[in-house]
Amino acid sequence: MPVIRMENFGWRYEGQERWALRGVNLSVEQGEFVAIVGPNDSGKSTLVMAMNGLIPNNYYGVIEGSVVVKGMDTREHPVADIARHVGFVFSDPESQFLSMTVEEEVVFGLENIGLDVDEIRERVEWSLGLAHIPMDYLEKPPYELSGGQKQRVAIASILAMRPEIIILDEPTSMLDPVGKTEVIEVLREMRRSYNATIIVVEHRMEDIAPLADRFILVHDGRVLRDAPPREFFDDIDFLLEHGVFPPEPMVFVSELRKMGLYDGPIPLTLEEAISASREALSGLRGR
Amino acid sequence: MSDPSKILAAFRPGEGGRLGRLHPATKLWLLTAMVATPLLSPSVAYEAACLFQSILLSAIAGSRDRIGEALRGSYFFIALIFVINYVFSGDLGLSASMVIRFLSMLVVSIALLTSMDPAELGDLLGMLRLPKSVTFSLVIALRFIPVMADDIQTISAAQASRGYRGDVGGPLERIRRFAPILLPAIVSAVRRSQILAEAMESRCFGSPARRTSLVSYEFGVEDLLWVAYPLAPLAALALVGWNPT
């Protein structure tokens, strides 16, 4: 049974002529890692906000169809109820903080659901470990940390609640390259050791492709493609036409295929791309 | 140069020295009593005693540097308070009294708010059974002080790099010139507050479950002594036989 099911879902923000999303049908299974990509203003953030109930609960607009999360229709349940199952990490880490220390930030959600002190301590330690935040950061003010550390604290504060579904909306978009790498490493760690459903809106496809079970392309408010990574990236031209820029090694190998120098699958990692290029070059040498 | 953003920056949370370890109820009492007393005071002498007491408190809290920073940022307002009161009353004593009241409130607010973690205030109001929405509104308001200070500094730098100057002209001109700083800061604050509200809900804020707390507070002997502290000027003046009425 899917943990998220969207049926003919559509959303139009109040005062807007255009539908932000329309005719969206998709389901997400327990434990899946789903990457959502698309150009700016295509409806990606609206899609993920609909998955944790922020839409329609916190925004005015017109809704079509339904979104059911862990058996709860988002039109009938407040965000605070849905949040017990769905954690949401925003792109700007600073804007999510309401506490003056890392510890208070991480325990905020745990106190809200009424956990006892021992369990709160155990979860704080576990979530900070998973997010690669040293325990001696507990007393630091979150706003004094680096961008990557801030976002990892934001992720830890969600992980601590142990939701079955974690949504990350462009978690690296406001970070410097070092911060982006740190956050991607945490995503890898989550993939390895935490069996949650992970849904991430992310532009760094080269890092996400090896982790994801599925890629979803959102364009102009519609889901245009929903496929496993290798199949998703198989038609590079289609992605480029729709404002998505795949990693350069994929584009390079795709060009080799067009030239008839390579006929294998599209590589998902740099190592696979090097191997594909070697294969193409050895074929060229043999001619 | 008078810079209003310096006043905001002075309210950044700090360690609070000895005051940082007090029970939040004690800190809230100190803040309320010491802000209110100069306002209710009937004489300049009593107000001066309150100011002295506030300065002593700030020294204990280790916030003298912050107060210096705030005074540098607010001398324009201090002058304005004096001038306006003198123009409308023609009474030098009253004008001085208003300035002393302002200074007293500024000093004590900085000393206590920088020693009080917003979460402590939230916990305290929670103990008083105030609705969570009210307590967290206050917590967030305090949390946003350093964020707003950072925003104003960033916006000031951005505007200055495009030739903006806020320190020229008379009082009205300066207020008018603050608009290019204030408007983006308000827009940014509104945007941040919306994201923060969503982030809080996404961590089950508003859930019907009874909220627990990781930290617990104890009311000790030191707290008792500090509870009596705001009454000290009155006691001292009573000892020297002064009648405030």
Amino acid B13: pLDDT: 64
- Answer yes or no: do B209 and A100 touch at CB < 8 A: no
Mean pLDDT of B174-202: 85
- Going from the C-alpha of B36 to that of each of B10, B30, B41, B47, B106, the distances in angstroms are 21, 10, 9, 11, 12
- Contact, B5 vs B156, CB < 8 A? yes
pLDDT in tens, A60-95: 999 999 999 999 999 999 998 899 999 999 988 888
Three-state SS at A72:
strand
Using the Cβ of A162 and the Cβ atoms of chain B, whether some distance falls under 8 Å is answered with: no
**Whether residue A212 has pLDDT greater than 60:** yes
d(CA A216, CA A196): 18
In this predicted structure, the answer to whether residue B244 has a pLDDT above a threshold of 70 is no
pLDDT at B234: 72
Q: Which of A96, A107, A113 sits opposite B199 (nearest CB)?
A: A96
CB contacts, 8 Å: A117 with chain B: 212, 214
Query: Which of A13, A60, A79 is most worth mutating to test chain B (most B CB atoms within 10 A of its CB)?
Result: A79
Select from A86, A104, A115 the Cβ nearest to the Cβ of B212. A115
- Nearest residue of B to residue A100 by CA position? B117
Phi-psi region of B220 (alpha: psi -120 to 50; beta: other; left: phi over 0): beta
Query: Sheet holding A21-28: strands in order across?
Result: A21-28, A4-13, A61-69, A72-73
> Above 70 in pLDDT, residue A271?
yes
pLDDT in tens, A135-188: 999 989 888 899 999 999 999 999 999 999 999 999 998 888 888 888 999 998
Strongest mean pLDDT among A104-108, A218-222, A262-266: A218-222
Per 3-state DSSP, chain A is made up of helix, strand and coil in percentages (nearest 5) of: 45, 20, 35
Q: How far apart are the first and last CA of chain B?
A: 40
pLDDT at A274 over 90: yes
Pick from B214, B215, B217 the residue to mutate for testing the A interface (most A CBs within 10 Å). Answer: B214
Q: Where are the domains of chain B?
A: 1-116+214-245, 130-212
Chain A CB within 8 Å of residue B214 CB: yes
The band of B243, judged by pLDDT with boundaries at 50, 70 and 90, is: low
**pLDDT for the residue numbered B17:** 67
For A58-62, A169-173, A226-230, B174-178, which range has the lowest pLDDT when averaged over its residues? B174-178
Assign B72 a pLDDT band (cuts: 50, 70, 90): confident
Output the average pLDDT for chain B. 82
Instruction: Give me the percent of chain B exceeding a pLDDT of 70.
Output: 90
* Chain B nearest C-alpha distance from A50 (Å): 12
The per-residue pLDDT for B2 is 57
C-alpha–C-alpha distance, residues A207 and A209, integer Å? 6
pLDDT on residue A21: 97
CA A8 to chain centroid: 22
